[in-house]
Every structure is written in structure tokens, then in C-alpha cells.
Amino acid sequence: MSMKRPLTAADLERIHVVDDARLSSDGERYAFVQKSIQTDTNSYYSNIYTQYLTDDVPVQWTFGSYTNFSPRWSPDGSSLAFVSNRSGLNQIWVMSTSGGEPKQITSVQHGASNPVWSPDSQKLLFETEHATEEDLLSASEDSSSSAPSAVKIDRLRYKSDSRGFHYGRRSHIGLFRFDQEETSLLTNGSYDHHDPDWSPDSQFIVFTANRNSDEDISPVQDLYTLNVETKEISKLTDSSGMFTNASWSPDGSWIACTGHELEYKSATINQIWLINPLTKERKGMTLKWDVQIGDYMTGDIRTGHTSDKPVWSSDQEHIYFLASENGKVGLYQMDMHNEITAIHDEDNHVFSFSFHPKNEQFVLGISDPSNPGDFYSRRLEDKGRVRLTDVNAGFLKEVDLSLPETLSVRTSDHWDVHGWIMYPVNYEEGQAFPLILEIHGGPHAMYGHTFFHEFQLLAAEGYGVLFSNPRGSHGYGQAFADACRRDYGGKDFEDLLAILDHAVDSYEFIDRNRLGVTGGSYGGFMTNWMISHTNRFKAAVTQRSISNWLSFYGVSDIGFFFTDWEIGVPLHQDPEKLWHHSPLRYVKDIHTPLLIMHSENDYRCPMEQAEQLFINMKYLNKTVSFLRFPGANHELSRSGPPALRIERLNHMVDWFHHYIEK
């Protein structure tokens, strides 16, 4: 018998999350971020650690209850830049690698992020929000005692779930010159500019933006170059798609990037592209490889993935990148003849990687269902890896975890649906246990071989957990990712029922009369859809869900284009089709006890989606309860206030216990 204890919702406070590994310029050590929860303030804090690859344990470089993140080594090895909120807003700080106190180098009004060193170590790029009429360097005024004023809205994209209301500000690229200790903006105008990278001669930058006159409506993202001295801008792409994560080759002759040409709208898988910055010639390097470039794993521990640009080898013969396939995220190598080789292709989740071209040395951040994540080193020519960190050793020694088993089912129309099942932690042969079906959001995301606290909690509470990648998920090729568009609640719904039937028929421990279902965002939509189209579940929990596509079109920060992309029509063309795919239309057919959980500041799936569902169910005397979470947005389950994340999990468990077990 195991001497370990069951995992609890409050164990979220004990999990340390590491991310953003960055090898130093000499390749001998790396820096990374470790984020934790501070319970007395109900907040997160993060610090920078470094570790020589020959050492057994890392060394902490920043301290305190601030958020310190985005460590970036200067190319000459003398300094480490990072972002910190220790002065209030996020600003860029720099510290000597030989020791001493860090120095704040930016004091911009709305904070700074994403530091990028120039190859000559004399300049540093950053991103900041800025409105045309504002002073870049002035301090924010304290308006806490002033009366609120009206907010004038002039554009479609006036809010976003991550930023809230934009207040006329745009994202711009700033520059700090160390020789003059001078801060300035490199970009201007009513456009958003992101993700800069330096040319090898430190004279130019490349960045992503949509600088077209219809940029509010058009979904494209182009690449541009900018001369740092003259500020002359040149457009590299032709507004035919979405191109990001640009990375200059060592000799400056090519720019590698990820992106696509919107052939399948939001379901289009990414490719690796090469662009000649002089001729603007563009070559798709992975067009024949039907795999999604980038990390598309979904979970509840990480708050968003750092941008992993394609990384060049020193001889420019190879490019390294992450890709998502079959429920795992691996590291791959591509040569200039489009041949792709797996460097790391195991049943786990590579969430971060750094590569030192001269030493041919990698540092990989890897998670799997038994570990929230640690760092490992490996040489390019080696097959094995060496563990560098063990940040959750104490926690993992205490708790009893359930490790998923893989399963798959062939649907009636001959599609293969991949999934996993977790046994309840208290499993005993011959006993029957309830099962919870989990449905991911997106829908173009991917469940897989990574640590998922919510799943482990349900298993600890005595439930089997079934999760899968139905049609629409990434990781199974372009046709599969596109297969749910214009058909929400159709074959995707059938896929979920098929894998549920397969699990119930294949695993004797599952009590087919005690089934529950839950999901968030698209998974919340599908939870609503399932209980309005089948009575198989004894209880359901819908989270940050969509219930009505008609109103979603106008209230969501992405509604006006996402609805068109996913359902297939804008509101004014065919409102009946939007209503056909709306779970609210079928509310009278819901007989499953439903818990609705939604965040007050959710601009992606706004609160009114939950309100409509609750009011209609309550009016019809259905069994329903409604939980509203203040101070949280669409990302509650991943990055919301820690106490609310724990409360959310406990309410979910209590609902399932009450209605499945009674």
C-alpha cells in the first residue's frame, strides 16, 4: 500500500513552475524563471536562477516577492537583463554577471517587456504600450481619487482578455542605448508592433505588425524590417497570412519565422518559412510536413508559453524548433533541403528550449504527467539527457499520482481519435468508480503528455478521468484540425461520445451510470452542447463557456472574426446558422445538474454568456448553480488569483460529489 497522500486542490500552492531557459553566451550556464505562489498575499512571485551545466543545483539570483522574469544574457557575457515589477510596473533591469545589485534601465509610463540585446551588446529592444499623445517617460498619474470619465471607443479591437480596455494605446518597440543611457521609441502610429529580433550587424531589426489601413478587421500579421538609425521601415511579406517569431540567420542573409497563409483561418497549422530580407523571396520549408509547428499543449500549470523562435545552427545548415504531434511536444531539426529529424520525440512536453550553436548544447524544459516540469541538458550528438533541476521533489514525494494510459478509437466515418484515461488513485480491482470526461478549449489546442493538476485532483477524489483530442485539435495534421470548423456540435460531439463509449466498454472499473463532464472555453461550449443533446451525464460543470453565438459575435474581444472563422458566417449574413450552433437554443432539453463557473473580467467569453444560460435554466426550473469569480479573466484556471483557482477546483469537486455520488 502506498504511503503517499492524495493530492488536494491546495497543493497548487506547493507547485513550483519553471520556464524560459536561456543559455549564456559562452554556453557554460543557463538562466531560468521559477514561479511560485505566495499564500499570505494571494499572489504569484517569480525569481531568476542560474546554473552551470556541471553543477548539481541552481543558484538564485533575484529575491523577494516580486515578479522577475524574461532573463536575457548580453552577447558579450557581461550582463543579464530581465523584467521586474520591483519598482511598481514591469520595467527592464540589468545586473552584472560578476555580481552586484541590478539597475533599472527603463522607466516608461506603461511598463516594458521582452528585452532583446543587440549582437554588439550596446543596445536593447523592449516592448511597451503607448498612445500617440502620451509622454513615453512620464510617470502615471494617480487617478484613484478623480471621478471616472467616459471612454471613447473608435475601433473594433478596443479590448482584449489579456489587456482589458486598450484606452487608445498600441504596442510599440522601444530602444535603450547604453552609451547614452537614452530611451526612445522605434515604431509609431496606430498599429501594434511585436516580437523584435536584431540583424547580426546590430543595424536592423525585424518585427511583426499589421500596418494596413484595414488592420482592425484584417487578421494578417506581416514581417517588417526597420533601420535603427534612420527608422526606415520595409515590408517583407504581402499581407497574405500570419508570420511571427522571426529570427535572423548568423550571416544576415535569411530570416526564419513561423506562420501560415490563413488557408484554414484559425485552424491553419504553422509552417517554418525562410525570407530573404533583400529580395523578399519567401520559401515554405515544412509545407510537406503535416505537423503543427510550436507548442500547442494545453494544461493548467503554465500561464502561457514563451515565444520559441526558430534557432539557427552556427553554419546555417540547420534550424531547430518545437512541434506538437500526437499529444506530445518535441524538438526537431530541419536542414536547408527540408529534411526534418527528431532531436527529442518522447511521450512528454518540451515547454522550453535553448540552444548554443557553437557548443551544440541544448537545455530542455520537460514536463510529463508525473512532473510539472524540470530542466535537462543534452548535446546535439548525444541520445540521452542529464537532469539539471528537481524543483518539485518534496511535493512529488508526498502525493500519490495517477499516470494516464493511452487509448484510441476509430469512429464510424473512419477517423482515429486519440485520448487518455486515468484510474482513480484509490482504485481497487473489482470496484466500480465514476468517470469525468474533460474537454479542452481552443478548439485548436491539444491535450497530451503533460502535468495537469485538475486531472490529478479528480483522480485523487476517486474519479476516473478521460481526456482526448477530438476533431479540431492540433497534433494530428491539417485536415483533422480543420474538421470541426462550420460543424461545432457535429462530428466533434460524435468523437467525444465515441471515445467515451470506448472507455466505458473497455475499462471494467467505470460505472456507466456515474458519468460527469466538464470543460472550459470551447470545452465549456461543448459541455453545454453535450448535456443539451444527451442525458448520459449525472452532473456537469461548464467553465468560461459559449452559450449563444449570436451575442458572442458582438461582446467577445474576438467574436466578430472568430465566429466567422469557426462557425462559417458573420452575424449579418446568416443569424440562423449561429443560433443553430448555440447551446442556448436547446436549453429546454437540458436535464443534467449544471454548475456554471465564469470570471467577471472575461473578455474572451464574456459573463453574459453564463448569465443567459443560467437565467434560462433557472426560469425553466432546471438544476443549476452559478459561480461568478471577481478579479479574474478567461485565464482563471491557469493564472487567476491563487485562492480563486483553489476555490474553483473545490466547487467542481463538491458538485460532482453531490450529484454523481448521491
Q: Do residues 494 and 468 lie in contact, with contact meaning Cβ atoms separated by under 8 Å?
A: no
For 152-195, the DSSP string reads ---SS--EETTTEE-TT-EEEEEEEETTTTEEEES--SSS-EEE
**Which of these is catalytic: 79, 521, 532, 599?**
521
What radius of gyration do the chain's Cα atoms show?
Answer: 25
Cβ atoms within 10 A of the Cβ of 81, count? 22
Q: What is the 3-state secondary structure (H, E, C) of 289-322?
A: CCCEECCCECCCCCCCCCCCCCEECCCCCEEEEE
Rounded Cα–Cα distance for residues 113 and 70 (Å): 8
**Which of these is catalytic: 130, 474, 598, 634?**
634
Q: Do residues 322 and 314 lie in contact, with contact meaning Cβ atoms separated by under 8 Å?
A: no
CA 316 from centroid of its chain's CA atoms: 29
Comparing CA positions, the residue from 554, 578, 555 lying closest to residue 566 is 578
Q: Which amino acid is at 71?
A: P
Comparing CA positions, the residue from 522, 506, 523 lying closest to residue 435 is 506
Rounded Cα–Cα distance for residues 376 and 390 (Å): 10
In the DSSP assignment, the letter for residue 461 is T
Q: Which amino acid is at 486?
A: R
Rounded Cα–Cα distance for residues 237 and 218 (Å): 15
| Inter-CA distances, 409 with 125, 346, 439, 523, Å | 49, 22, 16, 20
269 grid coordinates: 497549422
Instruction: Examine the residue annotation and report whether 74 is marked as an active-site residue of this protein.
Output: no
Instruction: Examine the residue annotation and report whether 166 is marked as an active-site residue of this protein.
Output: no
For 405-456, the DSSP string reads EEEEEE-TTS-EEEEEEE--TT--TT--EEEEEEE-SSSS-B--SS--HHHH
| Inter-CA distances, 208 with 214, 245, 257, 515, Å | 16, 8, 10, 46
Rounded Cα–Cα distance for residues 487 and 598 (Å): 25
Phi, psi of 381, deg, nearest 5: -85, -10
| Axis-axis angle for helices 642-661, 453-460 (nearest 10) | 40
**Can you name the residues that pair with 60 across neighbouring β-strands?**
49
| Axis-axis angle for helices 491-506, 522-531 (nearest 10) | 70
Cβ atoms within 10 A of the Cβ of 145, count? 5
For 496-562, the DSSP string reads HHHHHHHHHHH-TTEEEEEEEEEEETHHHHHHHHHHTT----SEEEEES----HHHHHHHSSSHHHH
Looking only at the bridges linking them, the beta strands covering 433-439 and 464-469 are parallel
Q: Do residues 447 and 328 lie in contact, with contact meaning Cβ atoms separated by under 8 Å?
A: no
Rounded Cα–Cα distance for residues 255 and 196 (Å): 12
CB hemisphere CA count around 641 (13 angstroms): 13
CA 588 from centroid of its chain's CA atoms: 35
Hey, which residues are catalytic here? Answer: 521, 634
